[in-house]
Amino acid sequence: MSHHSMRLSPLAWAVAIAIAVFAVNQSTSWGAAPLAPGGANRRPGLPAPDYTFPSGIPANFSVVAVPLTNVPYVGTFTGFASSEVLRDPNTGNLAFGYRFNNLSPIANEINRVSIDDPSHPWTGVNIFDSGSDASGVSTPVGAGWADGSPYDIERDGIFSSVAAQFSQLGLGTSLESPNQNTSALIWVATNAKRFALTDVSLLDGGPGGTSMVYGPLVPEPTTLLLSVIGCVGGAIMFRRRRQTN
C-alpha cells in the first residue's frame, strides 16, 4: 500500500476531529447514575435505579456560572423557584440546581415540578447524574420522608424534559403550604455547555402554577452549521500544511 493511499480526505479529517471533540466533551471524572429519556432515578430505599443521595452537586462543578436566582410563581401557588448553574472548568459541562417552596395562604400542595418550554431545551442533552441533598423540609406522605427530597427525578420519553415527582402511589413527601415547606436542592449534571431561563410547571393534580429556572440552551441550527464548517475548514488547513511540509 503506497503512502499516498493512506492520506485522509478533508471530510474524513473533519469526522475524526468531530468524534474526538465529542469524546472529550462527554468525559467526566465521577461515577454517575445516568438519567436517560423515559427513565427515572429514584430515592434510595425505593425500586432501583437510585439517584445519588444525600450528596450534593459533584465537586468537579466548581465554577459558579449563575448564583442561586429566585423567580416568583405565577398561578395557584405562592413562593418562588430557585435555580443555579455550575460549570466544570475542565470540560465546560454544566450542572443545574433547583429548589422550590410553597408559601400559599390557601391550603394546597406541590407534588410535581416539570422543567421544559416550547423549545424543549433538554433534547439531546446527556444527564450523567442526578440527585438531591436532603436539605429541605417537607410533609411525609404515607410512610414517607420529611427532608424535601423527591420520590424520583425523571425524564420525559419524547421531549426529554426533566421533572421531580415528590409523591407516588401514596408514598413519598409533599410541599404543603400550611407548613411553609421547601424542597431539598435537586440537581442534574449534564454535558450542556450553554444555559438560559426556561419554564417550570408546578402541579398538584388540579391546581397549577408556573415560574422560570435555568436550563440548557439548545444550539441554534446556524450555530451547528458553523461548527461543522469550522471542523471541515480546520481539517483542510491541516491537510494543506502537512502537504506543504
Q: Give me the tens of pLDDT residue by residue for the chain, a chain 245 residues long.
A: 444 444 656 666 555 555 544 444 433 334 568 999 999 999 988 888 888 888 889 999 999 999 999 999 999 899 999 999 999 999 999 999 999 999 988 888 999 999 999 999 999 999 999 999 999 999 999 989 999 999 999 999 999 999 999 999 889 999 999 999 999 999 999 999 999 999 999 998 677 899 999 999 976 554 444 444 454 455 455 455 555 65
DSSP-derived secondary structure letter, 45: T
Judge whether 115 and 98 are in contact, CB under 8 Å.
Answer: yes
What local confidence, expressed as pLDDT, does residue 133 receive?
A: 93
Place of cell 472548568: 89
The DSSP secondary structure of 99-150, one letter per residue, reads: EEB---SS--EE-EEEE--TT-TTTT--EEEEEE-S--B-EEESS--SSS--
At residue 134, the pLDDT reads 94
**For the stretch 134-159, what's the b/e string if a residue is b when 16 or more beta carbons lie within 10 angstroms of its beta carbon?**
bebbbbebeebbbbbbbbbbbbbeee
Indicate yes or no: pTM above 0.75.
yes
Q: Three-state SS for 25?
A: helix
Q: What is the pLDDT of residue 53?
A: 83
Q: Write the DSSP symbol of residue 50.
A: B
For residue 12, the model assigns a pLDDT of 60
User: What local confidence, expressed as pLDDT, does residue 64 receive?
Assistant: 98
CA distances in angstroms from 191 to 28, 88, 145, 185, 188, listed in the order given: 9, 10, 31, 20, 10
- The single residue listed with the C-alpha cell 403550604 is 177
